Chains A and B, each alone.
Chain A
Amino acid sequence: KQEVTQIPAALSVPEGENLVLNCSFTDSAIYNLQWFRQDPGKGLTSLLLIQSSQREQTSGRLNASLDKSSGRSTLYIAASQPGDSATYLCAVRHPGAGSYQLTFGKGTKLSVIP
């Protein structure tokens, strides 16, 4: 059974700092990995999608890497801003009990202090 873990569960940083969020998964046989942002009481906003054949994806101040063999992904946020405060979720799409399912981690709650 695929399990996704995100560490830390919560993170507080001062504005302007660079930071890394971690995501690990137990089964390396994945199709892709997707990072989402979720504001309180809201839905999920897709940030980056990395296919299993890719090593990284970049969008603006965000960079996501994937090491499939070790079952790890990182989301790097450069020059953090208070507006980045949210919960960040990673999810993997994988074969098994439904190849169209995503398995999510519990998220990392990020607070960027002005």
Chain B
Amino acid sequence: DTGVSQNPRHKITKRGQNVTFRCDPISEHNRLYWYRQTLGQGPEFLTYFQNEAQLEKSRLLSDRFSAERPKGSFSTLEIQRTEQGDSAMYLCASSPDGGLANTGELFFGEGSRLTVL
């Protein structure tokens, strides 16, 4: 399967602990996005990478959140000192870059569900 892959699928942690999620985008997709979705809501944008450069960050991405994409391939999203309000589904998406291949269509992974106790 060459779709967007996210790990772990579900993480349960205690308040104050750090967690890290990984996203492997579709091969050759230069653009990578992180979104957060809480119950009953649509996904909300967190951050965007083009290759290894983090070009956009939402105000939702507090100082406790950090995202990286060191080699322009997979990405990690780390949450430090987790709070109960961080409980959500963290979704990763990718899309191809520029030109005729870029219809602007985003392809999402299955998500990583975080539960903070």
Asked if B65 is an interface residue, CB under 8 A from chain A, the answer is no
Given contacts A100-B55, A101-B56, contact A46 B42 (CB under 8 A): no
Which among A34, A42, A91 is the interface contact of B110 at CB below 8 angstroms? A42
Complex Cα distance, B58 from A106, in Å, reads 19
Given contacts A89-B42, A101-B45, A105-B42, contact A43 B103 (CB under 8 A): no
Q: Is the CB of B56 within 8 A of A98?
A: yes
For chain A, residues 32 to 51, give those with C-beta under 8 angstroms from any C-beta of chain B: 32, 34, 36, 41-46, 49, 51
Please give, as numbers and ranges, the residues of chain B lying within 8 Å of A43 by CB-CB distance: 4, 6, 91, 108-111
Sorting the interface of chain A by its residue count into under 10, 10 to 19, 20 to 34 or 35 or more gives 20 to 34
Complex Cα distance, B38 from A107, in Å, reads 12
For chain B, residues 4 to 19, give those with C-beta under 8 angstroms from any C-beta of chain A: 4, 6
Q: Is the CB of A104 within 8 A of B56?
A: no
Total contacts A to B, CB within 8 angstroms?
64
Q: Is the CB of B42 within 8 A of A106?
A: yes
Complex Cα distance, B40 from A100, in Å, reads 23
Q: Is the CB of B113 within 8 A of A41?
A: yes
**Contact indicator per residue, chain A 33-72, by CB within 8 Å of chain B (1) or not (0):** 0101000011111100101000000000000000000000
Asked if A76 is an interface residue, CB under 8 A from chain B, the answer is no
CB of A97, distance to nearest CB on chain B (Å): 8
Q: Is the CB of A34 within 8 A of B56?
A: no
Q: Is the CB of B42 within 8 A of A4?
A: yes
Q: Is the CB of B109 within 8 A of A107?
A: no
CB of B24, distance to nearest CB on chain A (Å): 13
Can you list 28 residue pairs at the A/B interface with Cβ under 8 Å? A32-B103, A32-B104, A32-B105, A43-B4, A43-B6, A43-B108, A43-B109, A43-B110, A44-B93, A49-B103, A51-B103, A51-B104, A89-B42, A89-B43, A91-B42, A93-B104, A98-B56, A98-B58, A100-B33, A100-B48, A100-B55, A101-B48, A103-B45, A104-B42, A105-B42, A106-B40, A106-B42, A107-B42
A residues touching B (Cβ–Cβ < 8 Å)? 4, 31-32, 34, 36, 41-46, 49, 51, 89, 91, 93, 98, 100-107
